[in-house]
Structure 1
Amino acid sequence: MASTLLQTTVVGSYPQPDWLVNREMLSKMVPRTRVRELWRVPEAFLEQAQDDATLLAIRDMERAGIDIVTDGEMRRESYSNRFATALDGIDDEHPGEITNRVGQKTPVPRVVGKIRRTKPIELRDMQFLRSNTDRLAKITLPGPFTMGQQVRDEFYKDAEAMCMDYAAAVNEEAHDLVKAGADVIQLDEPWLRNNPEEAKRYAVKVINRALQGLTVPTVVHLCFGYAAVVRGGKPTGYAFLPQLADSIAQQISIESAQPRLDLGVLKDLAPKKIMLGVIDLADPGIETPQLVAERIRAGMKYVPPDKLLPAPDCGMKYLPRATAFGKLKALAEGAALLRKELQ
Structure 2
Amino acid sequence: MAEALLQTTVVGSYPQPDWLVNRDTLSKVVPRTRLREIWRVAEPFLQQAQDDATLLAIRDMERAGLDIITDGEMRRESYSNHFATALEGIDADRPAEIVSRTGHRTPVPRVVGKIRRARPVEVRDVQFLRANTGKPIKITLPGPFTMGQQVKDEFYGDAEAMCMDYARAVNEEAHDLVKAGADVIQLDEPWLRNNPEEAKLYAVKAINRALQGLTVPTVVHLCFGYAAVVPGSSKPSGYSFLPQLADTIAQQISIESAQPRIDLGVLKELAPKKVMLGVIDLNDPEIETPQKVADRIRAGLKHLSPDKLLPAPDCGMKYLPRATAFGKLKALVEGAALVRRELG
- Measured against the shorter chain, the TM-score band is over 0.9
- Partner SS for 1:12: coil
Residue in 2 aligned with 1:284? Answer: 285
TM-score by length of 1: 0.99
CA-based RMSD of the aligned residues comes to: 0.8
Superposed counterparts of 1:179-328, under 5 Å: 179-231=179-231, 232-328=233-329
1:165-209 Cα deviation digits (max 9, x unpaired): 000000000000000110000000000000000000000000000
Residue in 2 aligned with 1:161? Answer: 161
Kindly indicate whether the alpha-carbon contact (under 8 Å) linking 1:3 and 1:339 is maintained by their aligned counterparts in 2: no
Residue in 2 aligned with 1:88? Answer: 88
Once residues 252 and 31 of structure 2 are traced to their aligned partners in structure 1, the CA distance between those partners, rounded to angstroms, is 27
Once residues 308 and 260 of structure 1 are traced to their aligned partners in structure 2, the CA distance between those partners, rounded to angstroms, is 17
Aligned amino acid, residue 198 of structure 1: E
* CA drift at 1:3: 7.2
* CA drift at 1:2: 8.1
Superposed counterparts of 1:104-119, under 5 Å: 104-119=104-119
* CA drift at 1:318: 0.2
CA distance 1:334–1:213, shift in 2 (3 Å): same
* CA drift at 1:233: 3.0
Which 10-residue stretch deviates more, 271-280 or 97-106?
Answer: 97-106
TM-score by length of 2: 0.99
- After superposing on structure 2, the runs of 4+ consecutive aligned residues of structure 1 that deviate more than 6 Å are none
Q: Which runs of 5+ in 1 are unaligned?
A: none
Kindly indicate whether the alpha-carbon contact (under 8 Å) linking 1:80 and 1:142 is maintained by their aligned counterparts in 2: yes
Once residues 313 and 292 of structure 2 are traced to their aligned partners in structure 1, the CA distance between those partners, rounded to angstroms, is 13
1:244-302 Cα deviation digits (max 9, x unpaired): 00000000000000000100000100000000000000000000000000000000000
Kindly indicate whether the alpha-carbon contact (under 8 Å) linking 1:54 and 1:72 is maintained by their aligned counterparts in 2: yes
CA distance 1:2–1:288, shift in 2 (3 Å): farther
Once residues 52 and 171 of structure 2 are traced to their aligned partners in structure 1, the CA distance between those partners, rounded to angstroms, is 29
Once residues 115 and 178 of structure 1 are traced to their aligned partners in structure 2, the CA distance between those partners, rounded to angstroms, is 22
Once residues 105 and 48 of structure 2 are traced to their aligned partners in structure 1, the CA distance between those partners, rounded to angstroms, is 34
Q: Which runs of 5+ in 2 are unaligned?
A: none
Q: Percent identity?
A: 83
Residue in 2 aligned with 1:101? Answer: 101
Once residues 235 and 101 of structure 1 are traced to their aligned partners in structure 2, the CA distance between those partners, rounded to angstroms, is 17
Kindly indicate whether the alpha-carbon contact (under 8 Å) linking 1:2 and 1:339 is maintained by their aligned counterparts in 2: no
Superposed counterparts of 1:59-78, under 5 Å: 59-78=59-78
Aligned amino acid, residue 294 of structure 1: D
Once residues 39 and 164 of structure 2 are traced to their aligned partners in structure 1, the CA distance between those partners, rounded to angstroms, is 32
* CA drift at 1:147: 0.1
